[in-house]
Amino acid sequence: MNRYGPRIAALQRRAERDRERIERGDREIGPDDASTYLREGVGPSIWLYVEGRTGGRMVQFSPAELAALERAMNAWLECYTRCYGVELEANFSIREAAELLLETRNVDDVGQLLTGVPLR
């Protein structure tokens, strides 16, 4: 396991907890909460992938690590869309999200472009 494994596992656990809280309705959420899920969840997930791919050495994420990272990112994207009252089963690739982040340099744009929420 590379040095990213524990970080990926922590991200996935946090994402699952956040999604479970939303599904249970533990607190009211709305559009004002959406960018928190992007900045504190989606962004760090994507950035970990970018860091591993551009940090001087190309990190070979194991298939399990890559899947866990994508599950975390997608869970937070589902939390993000729920803030707008939209239920989405997110299934985006971390690579696609990373390319968008590098292109736009804005995680809020990445969330909107991937999910189409909110409508522009």
Q: How many Cβ atoms sit within 10 Å of the Cβ of residue 98?
A: 21
Measured between alpha carbons, how far is 9 from 96 in angstroms, rounded to an integer?
21
DSSP 8-state assignment for residue 55: S
- What's the pLDDT tens digit per position in 29-44? 999 999 999 999 999 9
pLDDT of residue 64: 96
pLDDT of residue 58: 81
How much is the pTM? 0.95
- What's the pLDDT tens digit per position in 45-104? 999 999 998 877 788 899 999 999 999 999 999 999 999 999 999 999 999 999 999 999
Say whether pLDDT at 1 is over 70.
Answer: no
Determine the longest span between alpha carbons in the chain, in angstroms: 43
